[in-house]
Amino acid sequence: MGLPLLDTKYSSKPHRVASIPAVNAEDKPWVLDRYDLRDEQGLQSFIFAAYRQIFSEHLILESNRQTELESQLRNGKLLVKDFVRGLGKSEVFRRLVLEPNTNYRFVEICLKRFLGREPYNKQELIKWSIIIAEKGYHAFIDAVVDGAEYAEAFGEDTLPYQRRPLSQPFNLTTPRLADIFQDDQRSPWERYAGPKFFVGWKDTVEGYTVFGPPKPGDSKAFLDIALSIASQNVSPTRVSVWDIKIPDMTKR
Higher pLDDT, 164 or 118: 118
pLDDT more than 70, % of the chain: 65
The pLDDT of residue 201: 42
**Per-residue confidence at 115, pLDDT binned at 50, 70, 90?**
very high
Please count the residues of the chain.
252
Q: Yes or no: say if 31 and 161 are a contact pair by the CB < 8 Å rule.
A: yes
Q: Is the pLDDT of residue 3 over 80?
A: no
Q: What percent of the chain has pLDDT over 90?
A: 30
How high is the mean pLDDT of the chain? 75
Binding site listing for (2R,3E)-phycocyanobilin? 74, 103-104, 129, 176
Q: What are phi and psi of 58, to 5 degrees?
A: -95, -10
Complete domains list, the chain, with CATH: 34-171 (1.10.3130.20), 184-228 (no CATH)
The per-residue pLDDT for range 65-107, each reduced to its tens digit, is: 898 998 998 888 889 999 999 999 999 999 999 999 999 999 9
In sequence order, the 6+-apart residues with CB closer than 8 A to the CB of 230 are none
Whether the pLDDT of residue 56 is over 90: the answer is no
Global pTM reads 0.58
Instruction: Report residue 21's pLDDT band, with 50, 70 and 90 as the boundaries.
Output: low
**CA nearest 58: which of 67, 70, 49?**
49
**pLDDT, mean of residues 170-192:** 53
pLDDT of the residue at 191: 53
Known binding-site positions: 74, 103-104, 129, 176
| DSSP conformation letters of 136-199 | -HHHHHHHHHTSHHHHHHTTTTB----SS-----GGG--B-HHHHSTT----HHHHTS-SS--E
Pick from 40-49, 87-96, 108-117: least confident: 40-49
Q: Which of 212, 215, 211, 216 is CA-nearest to residue 201?
A: 211
